[in-house]
Amino acid sequence: MTQDIYLTGITTTGTPHIGNYVGAIRPCIEASKDKSKQNYYFLADFHALAKAEDPERIARSSLEISAAWLALGLDTDNAVFYRQSDIPEIPQLTWILTRMTAKGLMNRAHSYKAQVQANVEKYSQDPDKGINMALYSYPILMAADILMFKSTKVPVGRDQKQHVEMTRDIAQRFNHHYGDILVIPEAVIGDDTAVLAGLDGRKMSKSYDNTIPLFADEKQLRKLIMKIKTNSIEPGEPKDINDSTLYDIYKAFAQPDEVREIEKRYEDGIAWGEMKQVLFEYINEHIKPARAEYQRYIDDPAEVERVLVKGAEKAREVSVPYLDQIRHAVGIRKLG
Ligand code: TRP
């Protein structure tokens, strides 16, 4: 068996928050340093286009996500870090795969179905209201991302699992027609303990508007942490760690012995206000050095651009010859 190739994409529609950090950024950055692993990480800006209409937001998000990953120590010598839109082979492969995708398969995509369902509930005459073709065929673009680099493992959240299953379907159908050319990937689903709750206690997500931006400045960080929802248990009363967003966030950042210490303080009835202060100070200290680096990158977008261009060059060492092979297989060939 050849070595596993890990690949994952980040849609450029928002500002990185601490939920992204704990669930995806931190584990990916760790993995990027592992010389025994081959990793591809990319900004899925064509995917962002399917979801967002505001050009400034897509561009800004691309800068913020890149700056965050670089500031946190992504190893760009070992891992391949690039922007999807810098790889012209990806949209070409998307079209070739579109030919191999049953319309019925796309009809079954959860995200598409959820939108149709919402429309049926709101405007019964037009179930497809607001749904553009990019959103509808989003899973085919994602299949191209994955298959373009022969990846075997795709780390994603649970909500993306179906898309990886669809990628497998599409690739198998392609191989059945054209020979054994595409590599069949597998989803790697992060464990649920890595999912943080947000300010209101629901999953931290930009769609709920309940996030704590990873590089919020000190003042904003304090303000947001003070807003985290708690229950009405009084200071001095023992508190339950199993139902506490403050505890979960602390645990995601702190060392095991520090976590045990906090568990004791919960038993002893720490006041919520005090716990918020403890959490603020901890996260602030933890993030401070990277925050300065982040700001340096934000202020120097040309430097970020250079890193991305270099990443794309590395990525295209694979995608250019591989796409040639794929084009040849489907009959798109030079005539002489
Ligand atoms: N659709 C993914 C998300 O919204 C992002 C993504 C795009 C992706 N292409 C990918 C993830 C390829 C893994 C592999 O989170």
Residue 267 phi, psi (nearest 5): -60, -40
Residue carrying the six token digits 């339950």: 240
Structure tokens at 132: 């553009």
Which of 13-27, 185-199, 228-242 shows the lowest mean pLDDT across its residues? 185-199
261 has a pLDDT exceeding 70: yes
Determine whether the shortest distance from the Cβ of 160 to ligand 1 is under 6 A: yes
**Both 148 and 225 in a single domain?**
no
H or E segment to which residue 9 belongs = strand 5-11
**Both 255 and 132 in a single domain?**
no
Structure tokens at 153: 């493992």
Whether 201 maps to a domain, the answer reads no
Residue 330 pLDDT: 98
For the residues 102-131, what does the mean pLDDT come to? 92
How large is the angle between the packed helices 301-330 and 138-148, nearest 10 degrees?
A: 90
**Residues ≥6 apart with Cβ < 8 Å to 87:** 148, 312, 315, 316, 319
Whether 209 maps to a domain, the answer reads no
**Both 86 and 232 in a single domain?**
no
Residue 144 pLDDT: 98
pLDDT, tens digit, 9 for 90 and up, residues 3-13: 899 999 999 99
**Both 280 and 321 in a single domain?**
no
- Residue 71's domain spans which residues? 5-195+301-330
How far is 295 from 285, CA to CA, in rounded Å? 16
- Of the chain, the percentage scoring pLDDT greater than 70 comes to 99
Probe target for ligand 1 pocket from 5, 83, 93, 160, with the most ligand atoms within 8 Å of CB? 160
**Both 149 and 13 in a single domain?**
yes
Whether 284 maps to a domain, the answer reads yes
Question: DSSP secondary structure string, 161-230?
Answer: HHHHHHHHHHHHHHHHHH-S-SPPPEEEEPPGGGPPB-TTSSBP-GGGT---BTT--HHHHHHHHHHS--
CATH code where residue 287 lies:
1.10.240.10
For the residues 224-243, what does the mean pLDDT come to? 95
Closest ligand 1 atom, residue 7 Cα: 14
Residue 34 pLDDT: 93
Answer for the pair 144, 94: CB distance below 8 angstroms, yes or no. Answer: yes
Q: 31 alpha carbon to ligand 1 midpoint, in Å? A: 18
**Both 224 and 321 in a single domain?**
no
Q: Using the Cα atoms of residue 68, residue 70, residue 72 and residue 74 in order, give the sign of their dihedral.
A: positive
What average pLDDT does the chain have? Answer: 95
How far is 105 from 170, CA to CA, in rounded Å? 9
Angle at 11 between CA 304 and CA 101, to 5 degrees: 130
Whether 314 maps to a domain, the answer reads yes
**Region for 331 from its dihedrals, namely left if φ exceeds 0, alpha if ψ lies in -120 to 50, beta otherwise:** left
**Both 285 and 233 in a single domain?**
yes
Q: 14 alpha carbon to ligand 1 midpoint, in Å? A: 14
For the residues 297-321, what does the mean pLDDT come to? 98
Whether 15 maps to a domain, the answer reads yes
In a 10 Å sphere around its CB, with 0-12 CB exposed, 13-18 middle and 19+ buried, how is residue 107 labelled? exposed
**Both 144 and 32 in a single domain?**
yes
Q: 142 alpha carbon to ligand 1 midpoint, in Å? A: 6
Structure tokens at 252: 């995601």
Domains held by the chain: number:
2
**Both 16 and 164 in a single domain?**
yes
- Of the chain, the percentage scoring pLDDT greater than 90 comes to 92
Give the pLDDT band of residue 1 (cuts 50, 70, 90): low
Work out the end-to-end distance of the chain between its first and last CA atoms, rounded to an integer number of angstroms: 37
Q: Using the Cα atoms of residue 289, residue 292, residue 298 and residue 300 in order, give the sign of their dihedral.
A: negative
pTM of the model: 0.94
Residue 193 pLDDT: 62
Structure tokens at 323: 């796409």
Instruction: Provide the CB-side half-sphere exposure for 324 (13 A, CA).
Output: 6
**How are strands ordered across the β-sheet holding 38-44?**
80-83, 38-44, 5-11, 153-156, 186-189
Closest CA to 71 of 310, 291, 323: 291
Residue 207 pLDDT: 85
Whether 172 maps to a domain, the answer reads yes
Rg of the chain over all Cα atoms, to the nearest angstrom: 22
pLDDT, tens digit, 9 for 90 and up, residues 27-50: 999 999 999 999 999 999 999 999
Give the pLDDT band of residue 127 (cuts 50, 70, 90): very high
Strands (E), 46-107: 80-83
Which of 145-159, 169-183, 194-208, 265-279 shows the lowest mean pLDDT across its residues? 194-208
How far is 80 from 165, CA to CA, in rounded Å? 24
**What separation in angstroms does the CA of 7 have from each of 29, 61, 145, 146, 153?**
13, 20, 9, 7, 7
192/209: higher pLDDT = 209
Determine whether the shortest distance from the Cβ of 96 to ligand 1 is under 6 A: no
Give the pLDDT band of residue 120 (cuts 50, 70, 90): very high
Q: 100 alpha carbon to ligand 1 midpoint, in Å? A: 20
Closest CA to 189 of 167, 168, 161: 161
Q: 161 alpha carbon to ligand 1 midpoint, in Å? A: 10
Probe target for ligand 1 pocket from 145, 162, 168, with the most ligand atoms within 8 Å of CB? 145
Whether 206 maps to a domain, the answer reads no
**Both 30 and 175 in a single domain?**
yes
Determine whether the shortest distance from the Cβ of 115 to ligand 1 is under 6 A: no
Determine whether the shortest distance from the Cβ of 146 to ligand 1 is under 6 A: yes
Collapsed DSSP state (helix, strand, coil) of residue 88 = coil
Whether 174 maps to a domain, the answer reads yes
**Both 305 and 175 in a single domain?**
yes
**Both 240 and 119 in a single domain?**
no
**Residues ≥6 apart with Cβ < 8 Å to 243:** 231
